Chains A and B, each alone.
Chain A
Amino acid sequence: MASESPVTIDPWHALRSVTQARIALGRSGGSLPTREWLAFKAAHAAARDAVHNRFDADALAAEIATIGVETLVVASAAADRSAYLQRPDSGRRLDAASRSRLQQYAGGGQQPDLAIIVSDGLSALAVHRQANGILAGLVPALVSDGWRLAPVIVARYGRVALQDEIGELLRAQLALMLIGERPGLGSPDSMGAYLVHRPKIGNTDAHRNCVSNIRPEGLPWAAAANTLRYLLTEARRRNISGVALKDERSLAPPAASCEAKSLDGLASK
C-alpha cells in the first residue's frame, strides 16, 4: 500500500496563473516541501551566475547603431567586475581615457537635449536583452518630437550616477541611463531606466526618476518607452526631475519607480 504524501497541498494553487510569486507552495508541517526548496536553490544559482556574466559593450553598441544613432563605448573607473562590486564609487566615474574622449567629443556641435547611456550594471544579460528593444521604440519617437540626441554611450561597469558625469561632459539638458538591475530569482534579465534633469556630478537620488523591471515579463518595452517619453517630456518642459516629478497620467501603464525600498542597493547605483 502506498503511503500518503507527507506534503499538505494548498488548494489555491490555480492562482499561480495570476502571479509569478511563489504562492501555494504547499507545506511539510509548516515548512517548505522538498521540491519547492530545491526549485528555489536552482533559481538562486541562475541569478548568481547572471551577476558574473560577461558584458560585450562593442557588440551592444553595434546593435544599437542599427537603429540609426551614433554610439560611443566608454568605461567607468572600475578595473574589473570584482572592483566594480566592492567599490560602487568607481562605477560612478569615468576612467581618464573615456573622460577625455567625451570632452573632445563635446567640444564641437550643439548642446544635446538628451544623453542616453546604456550600462551593464549588475546584469549584463539584462541590457543585452532589453536595451536595444526599448531604444528602437523610444529613439524614433523622441526624434519625431524634435529632441536633439547625443550619441548613445555604452558604458562598461557603470553605476546609475555615471549618468551625471557623462551628461555633464556632453552638456546635455537631460540624461537617461539604461542599466542592468540586480538579478532577482525569477528575473535575471531585468533592466532599469533612470532619468535626471541637468546631469552633473553630485546629483543625489532625489534628483532622479526611475522606471524599473523592464523586460517582456515585467514592464514590456513599448510601455516602458511610453512612460519614459512622458517623463522626459515633462522633465524638459517643467525643468525638473526626481521627487518633484511624478507620473500623473490617470491611466498610466504600470511603470515603476525605485522609491520602493528606496535604499541604494535597489538597482545598481
Chain B
Amino acid sequence: MPGYSITLRNRSHAFGDLKTLLAKASPARSGDALAGIAAENDQQRVAAQLVLADVPLAAFLDQPLIPYEEDEITRLILDSHDRQAFAPIADLTVGQFRDWLLRYETDGDALAALAPGLTPEMVAAVSKLMRNQDLILVASKRRVVSRFRNTIGLPGRLAIRLQPNHPTDDPAGIGASILDGLLYGCGDAVIGINPATDSIETVHRLLGMLAELIERYGVPTQSCVLAHVTTQLAAIEQGAPVDLVFQSIAGTERANASFGVNLRLLGEARDAALALRRGTVGNNVMYFETGQGSCLSAEAHHGVDQQTLEARAYGVARRFEPLLVNTVVGFIGPEYLYDGKQIIRAGLEDHFCGKLLGVPMGCDVCYTNHAEADQDDMDNLLTLLAVAGCNYFMGVPGADDIMLNYQSTSFHDSQYLRQVLGLRPAPEFEAWLETMRITGDGNRLLAIEPRHRLLQDAASASGIQPRASTNEI
C-alpha cells in the first residue's frame, strides 16, 4: 500500500493509507474525534487535503477502504461500478475532479450520465476539498426526480414530508397533525408516521388510516409508517396497504446488521412493495433514512470517517431506486456533530454526495436538546439546502416532534422557502391544494373558513367544532 506524505511549512505529514488520509482530510467534527481518527490540528487537516487532491480517482477502485471479502456494501459498490460512465473522469485526481465539477460545461445531464461511474468514496473524497458554496453549486446542477403518486425533485419545486407523530400513536392526535399539515400545504413527499410502537397491529392500523384519508380526498401523495422493515413486511403479508417501505440504513454491512437488515432483506421488501402496484405515476417504492455517525455508534466503522461511511449508505440506497432518501442530520447528537456549524456542514455534504450518486435527496434539518444548536442554525441550513435544490424537508407541527423528542422543521418553514425562493409543491399536489382552496394567489396559503370540507369532516369525526376565532373558546 502506498504511503501518502507532504511537507507543509517545513513540517512533514505522513498518512499510512487511503482511509487514514480521508479521515484526516475530513472537515472537523466530533464523531471522527470520538473514533480517534480525526486530524490532530488544522494544519494536519489541510496537509491531508493537499495530499488527497493529488490522489487519482481510480485509486478508490483499486484500494477498497473496507475489504471486499468482509463487507457486502463494498462488494455492491465495486461490482456495480460502471467503467464506461466513469471514463470522462477516469484520469483525473480528486482535486481535478473538484475543478471539473465546477466548470460551466458540467451540467445536470453530464452529472446524471456520470453517476453510475461514481463510487461513494470518490464523492466523499471530493466533498472534503469543497467549501460550502461548492457543495451548494454542484448539487444545484443535479436534479434527481422520483415518482409514486406524484413527481418529486423537479426544478423549482420543493416537497415536504408531513410527519404527524404522536407518542401513543393515537389516531385522533395523528389525524389532527395531518390536518394541520395539509392545511399548511404540506405532505407531498409523503405522509410518514414514526410509530411509537413497532408492532404489526399498530403499523397495519395506521396504514389503513392513511390509505383511507388519501383515497377519500384524492390526495396525490403516498403514505409510510416507519417501523422496522420486517414489521412492514409482516404487515404486507396481513394485507396492509403499504405505499412505501421504510428502513434506516448505514454504510457498512455490520452497521446494517445492527439495524437488523441486509441487502437481501431490503431487496425482498422492495419486491413486496412493488407487487402491491399502488403507485400511479411511478414505481419508486422505497424510503431510506441515514445519518453521519450511525456506523460508529454501532461500533462498525472500520476506521473510516463518518462522512465517507454516510456516502456509502447512499450507495446502498441507490441500488433500490428509492422515492425518498434523507439524512437526519442533527438527530444523532453532539458526540457525532457537535454544534450548528458541524450540522450545517454535514447537511450540505450529505445532500451533495447523495445527489451526485443519483439519490433523490431530502434532509431532516434537525437538532437535539443536548446539541449546541438552535432554530437559527436550522434556518441557515434549511436556506442553504433549498438553494442547493434539496428535494424535500420535514414538516413537523411547530418544528417540535413530540414523539421523537427533537426539533425538525415546521410547516411554517416551508412557507418561508416558498416565499424567498419561489419554490412550489410537487405539481400534482399543487393542483390538489388549489382545488381544495388551501393555496392560491400564487403559492400563498388561503384563509381557511370553518366550513372548509377538511374541517367539517374532522369535526364530525371528532365532535370538535371548528371556530373562527380563539376568542370564542
Contact = CB atoms under 8 A, between A and B. Distances in A.
B198 A182 contact: no
Question: Most chain-A Cβ atoms within 10 A of its Cβ — which of B170, B175, B176, B328?
Answer: B176
A205 B258 contact: yes
B402 A21 contact: yes
A48 B369 contact: yes
B335 A21 contact: no
A206 B257 contact: yes
B398 interface: yes
A252 B199 contact: yes
Nearest to A18: B172
Interface stretch (B38-46, B111-119, B148-156, B223-231): B223-231
A260 B34 contact: no
B136 to A, nearest CB: 24
B399 interface: yes
Interface stretch (B13-21, B214-222, B461-469): B461-469
B166 interface: yes
B198 A257 contact: yes
Contacts of B202: 252, 254
B263 interface: no
Interface string B287-298: 001010110011
A256 B227 CA distance: 11
A259 B227 contact: yes
B416 A262 contact: no
Contact of A212 (B196, B398, B406, B462): B196
Interface string B27-49: 00010001000000000000000
Nearest to A20: B402
A48 B202 CA distance: 32
Contacts of B130: none
Interface in A4-47: 8-25, 27, 29-32, 36, 40-41, 43-44, 47
Contacts of A252: 197, 199, 201-202
Given A184-B405, A246-B200, A264-B297, A12 B173 contact: no
Interface stretch (A84-92, A131-139, A168-176): A84-92
B50 interface: no
A96 interface: no
A31 B412 contact: yes
Question: Most chain-A Cβ atoms within 10 A of its Cβ — which of B199, B298, B336, B338?
Answer: B199
Contact of A12 (B194, B291, B399, B466): B466
A62 interface: no
Given A11-B448, A15-B458, A254-B170, A30 B419 contact: yes
Interface in B383-399: 397-399
B464 A11 contact: no
Interface string B164-206: 1111111011111101100100000000001111111110000
B332 A243 contact: no
B298 A122 contact: no
Interface size class of B (residues with CB under 8 A): 35 or more
Contacts of B200: 246, 248
Contact of B467 (A13, A47, A85, A186): A13
Given A47-B369, A262-B259, A22 B196 contact: no
A266 B404 contact: yes
Contacts of A190: 405
B194 A261 contact: yes
Nearest to B228: A259
Interface residues of A, number: 75
Nearest to B193: A260
Interface string B328-368: 10011111101000000000000000000000000000001
B298 A205 contact: yes
Contacts of A14: 464-467, 473
A266 B164 CA distance: 17
A84 B159 CA distance: 38
Contact of B455 (A11, A181, A246): A11
Nearest to B296: A264
B30 A86 contact: yes
A19 B176 contact: yes
Given A252-B201, A254-B197, A243 B230 contact: yes
B332 A30 contact: no
B176 A182 contact: no
A182 B462 contact: no
B407 A185 contact: yes
B297 A269 contact: yes
Interface string B430-455: 00000000000000110111101001
Contacts of B401: 184
Question: Most chain-B Cβ atoms within 10 A of its Cβ — which of A21, A32, A44?
Answer: A21
B400 interface: yes
A30 B423 CA distance: 14
Nearest to B415: A30
A19 B164 CA distance: 10
B190 to A, nearest CB: 15
Given A87-B34, A185-B369, A263-B294, A32 B197 contact: no
B260 interface: yes
A217 B170 CA distance: 13
A219 interface: yes
Contacts of A44: 369, 374-375, 407
A17 B473 CA distance: 12
Contacts of A247: 197-199
A252 to B, nearest CB: 6
A21 B179 CA distance: 12
13 contacts: A11-B468, A22-B399, A23-B180, A30-B416, A87-B335, A204-B298, A206-B259, A243-B230, A254-B196, A257-B197, A262-B228, A263-B289, A269-B297
Given A20-B167, A185-B369, A219-B168, 11 more contacts: A16-B176, A19-B174, A19-B176, A29-B419, A182-B369, A184-B400, A213-B403, A257-B198, A257-B228, A261-B289, A263-B248
The 8 closest A-B pairs by CB, nearest first: A22-B398, A30-B415, A184-B405, A257-B198, A264-B297, A19-B173, A204-B258, A254-B168
